[in-house]
A and B are shown apart, each in its own frame.
Chain A
Amino acid sequence: GAGVSQTPSNKVTEKGKYVELRCDPISGHTALYWYRQSLGQGPEFLIYFQGTGAADDSGLPNDRFFAVRPEGSVSTLKIQRTERGDSAVYLCASSQGRGDIQYFGAGTRLSVL
């Protein structure tokens, strides 16, 4: 596609449930990033993939958060045992390589009730 695509655009879940958020990057981009944007804040870095491997996961808040990119294209962010504090907009970005301009998707708004 022409841009970074994220699905779903909105996700409502109950506390304790498991959720998956999907990111489809720009074709040919090897680098993929996940960020979390809480209300009134700027995006915060979660994890960076170069190809299939997670090159930097230092931003993941705890072990309930996990992300994969098995074929080096689409990525899935997985959150186990969701908590109300996980409510935020989750943004995905891709770039041609490490350090190149990052292009962002519209995000997935996660609401944990």
Chain B
Amino acid sequence: AQSVTQLDSQVPVFEEAPVELRCNYSSSVSVYLFWYVQYPNQGLQLLLKYLSGSTLVKGINGFEAEFNKSQTSFHLRKPSVHISDTAEYFCAVSDLGGGADGLTFGKGTHLIIQP
């Protein structure tokens, strides 16, 4: 079975500072990895995805993430955050090779941008 761990439930950051949101996963097979963002009272929006190829993936709104197979991590980064980045961020894994059809999500990290 697969699992996703987001160690930080909340991350406060000052505006224009860099941020890293951590995500670790466990799976016995190859996986696809995703970061979703959820703004208040809205649905989940895909930020970026790793399917194969380059381990550094770039997404929307200036976010990027790096897949590290040896550390089973997929940390999300942004060099300079804005007030509008305040939201809940979810890391998710898809384990198609293991026969699982749905995404497995972490518990989420609430990014709080302070002016």
| Residues of chain A having any CB pair with chain B under 8 Å | 4, 33, 35, 40-46, 48, 55-56, 59, 91, 93, 98-99, 101-107
| Residues of chain B having any CB pair with chain A under 8 Å | 4, 6, 32, 34, 36, 41-46, 49, 90, 92, 94, 96, 100-108
With beta carbons under 8 angstroms apart, the residue of A35, A41, A106 that contacts B107 is A41
Please indicate which of the listed interface residues A33, A93, A98, A104 has the most CB atoms of chain B within 10 Å of its own CB.
Answer: A104
Asked whether, in the complex, the Cβ of B46 is within 8 Å of the Cβ of A43, the reply is no
Residues of A close to B4: CB separation below 8 A? 42
Asked whether, in the complex, the Cβ of B94 is within 8 Å of the Cβ of A99, the reply is yes
Closest to B97 in A: A99
Residues of B close to A55: CB separation below 8 A? 101
Residues of B close to A102: CB separation below 8 A? 46, 103
Asked whether, in the complex, the Cβ of B107 is within 8 Å of the Cβ of A40, the reply is yes
With beta carbons under 8 angstroms apart, the residue of B6, B43, B44, B102 that contacts A45 is B102
Residues of B close to A56: CB separation below 8 A? 100-102
CB < 8 Å A-B pair total: 59
Asked whether, in the complex, the Cβ of B105 is within 8 Å of the Cβ of A42, the reply is yes
Asked whether, in the complex, the Cβ of A43 is within 8 Å of the Cβ of B43, the reply is no
CB distance from B112 to the nearest CB of A (A): 15
CB distance from B20 to the nearest CB of A (A): 19
Contacts A42-B108, A98-B96: A104 and B102 contacting too (C-beta < 8 A)?
no
Q: How far is the CA of A5 from the CA of B101 in the complex (A)?
A: 21
Counting from the closest, the 7 A-B pairs by CB-CB distance are A45-B102, A42-B105, A104-B44, A48-B101, A106-B43, A56-B101, A104-B43
Q: How far is the CA of A4 from the CA of B46 in the complex (A)?
A: 14
Asked whether, in the complex, the Cβ of B46 is within 8 Å of the Cβ of A101, the reply is yes
CB distance from A33 to the nearest CB of B (A): 6
CB distance from A77 to the nearest CB of B (A): 14
29 contacts between A and B (CB under 8 A): A4-B43, A33-B102, A35-B102, A40-B108, A42-B4, A42-B6, A42-B90, A42-B105, A43-B44, A43-B90, A43-B103, A45-B103, A55-B101, A56-B102, A93-B44, A98-B96, A98-B101, A99-B32, A99-B96, A101-B49, A102-B46, A103-B46, A104-B36, A104-B43, A104-B44, A104-B45, A106-B41, A106-B42, A106-B43
